[in-house]
Amino acid sequence: MGDYETRIKQAAQLIHNSQYMVIFTGAGVSTESGIPDFRGPNGLWTRRDKGLSPPKSPKWSSVEPNSAHDAIVELQNMGLMKFLISQNVDNLHLKSGIKEELIAEFHGNMELMRCLDCDRKYQKKRIWDEEKWGKGYRASPVKEGQIPCPECGGRIISSIVNFGDPIPDKELSDSFKHSKMADVFLVVGSSLSVTPAAYCPQYALANQADLIIINNQPTPFDNAAIILFHENAGETLTGILKEIHRLTD
């Protein structure tokens, strides 16, 4: 993979020179906030496959963004990140300062409800009473007195996409559209093994995008990456950002 500092400088140069960088994040971007990932050495699926109990996890609503989230926000604020695609439901990207119009949350967001008809999103704490109506998942039965969408009167459900649920059309179309426009596609903390989300780097590569991967574990796209990091996400992104500032000054 080459010397770490050399890879940091190469990644910074590509991002600094990019016209349309898209970032794609998975569970590995949140591990430094204390949320376990799925396929890491101590991940949820890794431990399950070994017959072990789930890894310890803090209460998600109390978790704060880490340096990786902060670096991504800074790339947004510098105008270098044009769009963010995330597989995470932990709300840490929005909590860190990512603009709602610049993110597609492929699998939903634990803090958001959405209308099944008009797709409008609402803050869960403002519109939903979980004690009365339960989780409100797509497959959950409709409870008596359950509030309809204030916009169109449609059914309000959790924005979380559970196994077997379809990905919302807007998240799917926005993710694919921006991936096809990318000239740099930066992956942070994803195994890139879950479809249809994993189609995004394929679309970017078809557009001749430079693929940069930051992930502790190997991915199916490692051979296609122009720069590959198996190092810590927060440290790596912070290092890249520092080098970008040096190039900009």
> Could you report the per-residue pLDDT of 106-152, keeping only the tens digit for each?
999 999 999 999 999 999 999 999 999 999 999 999 999 999 999 99
Which residues of the chain, if any, have pLDDT below 50? 42-50, 53, 55
Question: Which pTM was predicted?
Answer: 0.91
pLDDT at 178: 98
Q: What separation in angstroms does the CA of 4 have from each of 82, 175, 213, 238, 239?
A: 26, 30, 13, 13, 10
pLDDT at 228: 97
Is residue 9 classed exposed, middle or buried when 0-12, 13-18 and 19+ CB atoms within 10 A define those classes?
A: middle
pLDDT at 237: 98
Catalytic residue (choose from 16, 69, 93, 107) = 107
227-229 vs 210-214, strand pairing mode: parallel
List the domains of the chain with CATH numbers. 4-110+165-248 (3.40.50.1220), 111-159 (no CATH)
The residues, any chain, with a CB within 8 Å of residue 73's CB and separated by 6 or more, are 96, 97, 98
Rounded CA separation 205/201 (Å)? 6
- How many other C-beta atoms can be found within 10 angstroms of the C-beta atom of residue 79? 8
178 is annotated as an active-site residue: no
